[in-house]
């Protein structure tokens, strides 16, 4: 029992000794220093300081550069901030991506880090609706278009508009607006203005251009027709008019065999990859083609079941061999049957009798259908 008591007393002594050392260390640290950033401004614009998470945000006028900015910073007497007040700092990288910067305040034996983010004022219209009809917003060109039924009175319409919180908008919401001609809507936000031109049309909304194949986000599989087709081939010439990374390729052989040597060898979109194009609405196709011999390129248009066939053709020019050319194929005006199958033959003449012909790879890409104007 005495041994246990002695051990307990020994442990207590150690605790007291260590506690005394810790108090001695603490007594040598000066923790009275103020490590707060009191103000932070760039080009006269005051930043918003969040003391809870040690962050600062600054919103500059629209169009301001985010490179080589020199913030003006105030801290307590005796405190040092790094980077220093007035030091030029980039708040965006070379691609325009925002890059927060860490600022550190040191005072006596304390320090505190702040994350500073700088951006430009950005305001936009996120929704524009008249009745139940939603407008199409083009944020790149700052345009809004909206189609209403024929006969609609455009002189007194009441749009419902949603936009960036904190901004104000003109014309004011809730009042009748005359849309007989395009009208400019203006957003005011943090000292910057943003404008959209709104066009309201009484008529049917035009059909969109249909992207049937582009090799990237629209990439149905082309089936081989007496050929070897490679889907997802690397684009051999991205510095021309077709810069997309992938395309379709077919080996065109000199010998008249069924592996790509016949005039009608090619690829097809059909069966599980069939399309549904109404010639009453769409009247032409375009397709990118690249090859090393000039001549006719064919599209064969079919209804499901290989019925109602039409052959449309255009020429790959000798003036730009080995380069992407955008070819146009006009759907016959007499065609009324729906187009379900599209077959491509990127060569026409049977080259097996041409002594100068050598095997070559032919490429195609970006097949689109265009609505009638």
Rounded average pLDDT per 10-residue block, the chain, 373 residues: 35 43 62 96 97 96 95 97 97 94 97 97 97 96 96 96 96 95 96 96 93 96 93 95 95 76 87 97 97 90 97 93 96 97 80 69 96 91
Sheet containing strand 192-202, edge to edge, reads 136-138, 143-148, 192-202, 183-189, 168-170
Phi, psi of 313 (to 5 degrees): -140, 155
Neighbours of 275 (CB within 10 A): 19
223-225/266-269 β-pairing: antiparallel
Identify the helix (H) or strand (E) that includes residue 20: helix 2-28
Q: Return the pLDDT at 352.
A: 56
- Taking Cα atoms as reference points, which of 359, 360, 293 lies closest to residue 320? 293
Angstrom distance (rounded) from CA 88 to CA 90: 7
Residue with token string 């944020």: 139
Residue with token string 């194949």: 213
Match domain 125-202 to its CATH number in 3.90.1150.10, 2.60.40.2340, 3.40.50.11810, 2.60.40.3080: 2.60.40.2340
Spelled out in words, what is the top-level CATH class assigned to the domain 37-120?
Answer: mainly beta
Ranges of CATH 2.60.120.260 domains, the chain: 210-371
Q: Return the pLDDT at 192.
A: 94
Residues with Cβ within 8 Å of residue 3, at least 6 apart in sequence: none
Q: Return the pLDDT at 16.
A: 42
Ranges of CATH 2.60.40.2340 domains, the chain: 37-120, 125-202
Angstrom distance (rounded) from CA 186 to CA 274: 45
User: Are 120 and 64 in contact, with CB atoms under 8 Å apart?
Assistant: yes
- Taking Cα atoms as reference points, which of 349, 308, 350, 343 lies closest to residue 329? 343
Residue with token string 């049937």: 212
Q: Return the pLDDT at 346.
A: 80
Burial class of 149 by CB neighbour count within 10 A (0 to 12, 13 to 18, 19+) = exposed
- Taking Cα atoms as reference points, which of 364, 346, 367 lies closest to residue 277? 367
Burial class of 219 by CB neighbour count within 10 A (0 to 12, 13 to 18, 19+) = middle
- Note the CATH number of domain 210-371: 2.60.120.260
User: Are 221 and 274 in contact, with CB atoms under 8 Å apart?
Assistant: no
Angstrom distance (rounded) from CA 3 to CA 8: 9
Q: Return the pLDDT at 7.
A: 38
- pTM of the entire predicted model: 0.60
Token duo for residue 53:
């998470």
């Amino acid at each position: 029992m005495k041994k246990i008591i002695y051990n307990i007393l020994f442990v207590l002594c150690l605790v007291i000794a260590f506690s005394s050392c810790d108090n001695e260390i603490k007594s040598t640290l000066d923790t009275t220093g103020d490590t707060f950033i009191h103000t932070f401004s760039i080009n006269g614009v005051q930043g918003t300081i969040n003391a809870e998470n040690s962050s600062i945000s600054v919103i500059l006028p629209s169009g301001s550069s985010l490179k080589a900015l020199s913030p003006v910073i105030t801290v307590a007497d005796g405190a040092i901030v790094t980077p220093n007040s007035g030091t030029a700092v980039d708040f965006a990288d070379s691609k325009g991506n925002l890059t927060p910067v860490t600022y550190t305040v040191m005072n006596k034996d304390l320090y505190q880090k702040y994350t500073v983010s700088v951006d430009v004022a950005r305001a936009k219209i996120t929704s524009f609706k008249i009745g139940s009809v939603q407008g199409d917003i083009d944020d790149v060109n700052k345009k809004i278009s909206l189609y209403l039924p024929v006969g609609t009175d455009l002189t007194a319409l009441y749009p419902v508009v949603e936009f960036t919180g904190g901004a104000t908008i003109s014309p004011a919401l809730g009042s009748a607006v005359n849309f007989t001609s395009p009208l400019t809507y203006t957003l005011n936000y943090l000292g910057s203005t943003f404008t959209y031109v709104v066009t309201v049309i009484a008529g049917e909304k035009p059909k969109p251009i249909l992207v049937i194949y582009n090799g990237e986000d629209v990439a149905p599989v082309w089936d081989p027709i007496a050929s070897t087709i490679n889907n997802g081939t690397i684009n051999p010439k991205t510095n021309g008019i077709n810069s997309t990374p992938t395309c379709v390729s077919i080996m065109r052989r000199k010998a008249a065999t069924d592996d790509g040597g016949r005039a009608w060898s090619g690829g097809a979109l059909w069966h599980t990859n069939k399309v549904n194009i109404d010639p009453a609405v769409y009247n032409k196709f375009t397709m990118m083609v690249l090859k090393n011999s000039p001549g006719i390129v064919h599209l064969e248009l079919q209804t499901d079941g290989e019925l109602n066939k039409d052959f449309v053709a255009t020429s790959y020019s000798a003036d730009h061999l080995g380069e992407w050319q955008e070819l146009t194929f006009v759907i016959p005006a007499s065609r009324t049957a729906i187009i379900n199958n599209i077959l491509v033959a990127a060569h026409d003449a049977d080259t097996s009798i041409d002594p100068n012909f050598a095997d070559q790879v032919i490429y195609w890409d970006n097949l689109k259908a265009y609505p009638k104007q």
